[in-house]
């Protein structure tokens, strides 16, 4: 039986994890979930929000499904998400954004894949208070990490029949750091003659995305721009409730939605499990369970086609009702 780490998170994490586990179980696929808690709830008992046992579990199983974990703003522990990505060298954050059936959005031909560098940039955690009124944060960009993520984006484009990779920077202002990222992109692109390339500044990208998103194919970005742009892209296809993601490294992969722990709707049976479910579907493809992945995806799409939606998508179904509707469609 497949053993997979399940980090069920906090906030809405446990609610949507339960939903996804039930749906996978109903598909007939047997998975031995190695459930690992992390975040604020375990700090008191284990002294860390990301105990070593969580990392060891992913190392053992090679693959994890992860629900969101809260990160306190401004103080407290360092983000579990950032730490996990760094500890396992999950250097590529892949976030496909494609219209889903019957979800009404402003644009109907969105099919963008955001490839975000996941280990450095302003998320390296190199910041300090210089004095009472001054703080500084180091934007770390290295040739190694930048070439690696650009190569990943081109390889992804090749394997997935994509035609263009567009690099996103602010190299006109941050000539040295973003300039290095751009230089790496240009170098790597020389090995991929069949893929078109494009260069755009991040501010212009944002404007173009909200006016004409279908012009974009694969985007590759340093960490911070990738984080922000992927939420923007999520908005184009119906919001965070449907935006999937994956953190991929050479040895391990952790599949997780773009969204956070949504404390504003925690415990209300309102959360949309779709983003975690789509992430799990990608995970099933990754572990070569493609039949189950397609079966679950068809059931999800059928549920949307029946106009069954959670509240975030304008519907009136609770998490439980939406989950049951998918399970019913699996069994038909």
**Contact footprint for ligand NAI (CB under 6 A):** 12, 68-71, 81, 240-241, 256, 259-265, 271-272, 275, 312
- For the CB of residue 240, give the shortest distance to ligand NAI in the complex, in Å: 4
Quote the CA–CA distance of 95 and 171 in Å, as a whole number.
23
Comparison of 93 and 146: residue with beta carbon closer to ligand NAI = 93
Residue with smaller CB distance to ligand NAI, 12 or 90: 12
Torsions phi, psi of 137, nearest 5? -135, 135
Cα gap 238→198, rounded to integer Å: 26
Q: H or E element: which one contains 112?
A: strand 111-117
Torsion of CA 203, 275, 79, 286, to 10 degrees: -100
Q: Nearest approach, Cβ of 112 to ligand NAI (angstroms)?
A: 19
- 76 CB contacts (<8 Å, ≥6 apart)? none
Smallest distance from the beta carbon of 122 to ligand NAI, in angstroms? Answer: 15
Name the residue nearer to ligand NAI (CB basis): 39 or 213. 39
Q: How far is the CB of 114 from ligand NAI (least distance, A)?
A: 14
Contact predicate 118/153, CB 8 Å: no
Between 39 and 222, CB nearer to ligand NAI: 39
Structure tokens at 104: 């009404």
44 versus 264: smaller Cβ distance to ligand NAI: 264
Shortest Cβ 51–ligand NAI spacing (Å)? 16
Residue nearest to ligand NAI (CB): 260
Least distance between ligand NAI and beta carbon 189 (Å): 30
Distance of alpha carbon 141 from alpha carbon 275, whole angstroms: 30
Which letter does DSSP use for residue 76 in this model? S
Residue found under tokens 């996804």: 20
CA 63/CA 278 separation, integer angstroms? 15
Pick between residue 41 and residue 147 the one whose CB is nearest to ligand NAI: 41
User: What is the smallest separation between the CB atom of 269 and ligand NAI, expressed in angstroms?
Assistant: 11
CA distance 101 to 243: 14
Q: How far apart, in whole angstroms, are the C-alpha atoms of residue 49 and residue 84?
A: 10
Query: Looking at beta carbons only, is 222 or 239 nearer to ligand NAI?
Result: 239
Residue 226 to residue 265: CA distance in whole angstroms: 26
| The pair of three-digit structure tokens given for residue 153, joined into one six-digit string | 């984006």
Query: Which residue in 101, 36, 21, 96 sits closest to 277, CA to CA?
Result: 21
Rounded to a whole number of angstroms, the minimum distance from the CB of residue 263 to ligand NAI is: 6
Nearer to ligand NAI by Cβ, of 194 and 264: the residue is: 264
Q: Which lies closer to ligand NAI via its Cβ, residue 18 or residue 164?
A: 18
Give the Cβ contact number of residue 40 at 10 Å: 17
Phi, psi at residue 249, to the nearest 5°? -125, -175
Least distance between ligand NAI and beta carbon 232 (Å) = 13
């Amino acid at each position: 039986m497949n053993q997979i780490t399940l980090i069920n998170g906090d906030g809405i994490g446990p609610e949507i994890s339960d939903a996804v586990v039930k749906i996978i179980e109903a598909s007939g696929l047997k998975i031995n979930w190695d459930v690992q808690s992390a975040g604020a709830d375990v700090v008191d008992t284990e002294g860390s929000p990301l105990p070593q046992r969580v990392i060891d579990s992913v190392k053992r199983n090679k693959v994890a499904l992860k629900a969101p974990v809260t990160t306190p703003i401004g103080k407290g522990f360092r983000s579990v998400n950032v730490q996990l990505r760094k500890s396992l060298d999950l250097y590529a954050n892949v976030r496909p954004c494609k219209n889903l059936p019957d979800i009404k959005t402003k644009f109907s031909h969105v099919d963008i894949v955001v490839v975000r560098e996941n280990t450095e940039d302003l998320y390296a955690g190199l910041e300090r208070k210089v004095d009472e009124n001054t703080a500084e944060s180091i934007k770390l960009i290295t040739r190694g990490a930048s070439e690696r993520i650009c190569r990943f984006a081109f390889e992804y484009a090749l394997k997935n029949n994509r035609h263009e990779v567009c690099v996103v920077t602010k190299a006109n202002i941050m000539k040295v750091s973003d300039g290095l990222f751009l230089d790496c992109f240009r170098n790597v692109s020389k090995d991929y003659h069949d893929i078109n390339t494009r260069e755009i500044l991040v501010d212009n990208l944002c404007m173009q995305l909200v006016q004409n998103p279908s012009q974009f194919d694969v985007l590759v970005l340093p960490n911070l721009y990738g984080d922000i742009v992927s939420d923007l892209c999520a908005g184009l296809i119906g919001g965070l409730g449907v935006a999937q993601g994956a953190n991929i490294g050479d040895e391990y992969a952790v599949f997780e939605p773009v969204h956070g722990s949504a404390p504003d709707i925690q415990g209300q049976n309102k959360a949309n499990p779709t983003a975690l479910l789509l992430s799990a579907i990608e995970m099933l493809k990754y572990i070569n369970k493609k039949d189950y992945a397609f079966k679950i995806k068809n059931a999800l799409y059928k549920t949307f086609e029946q106009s069954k939606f959670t509240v975030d998508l304008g519907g009136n179904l609770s998490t439980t009702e939406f989950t049951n509707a998918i399970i019913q469609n699996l069994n038909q």
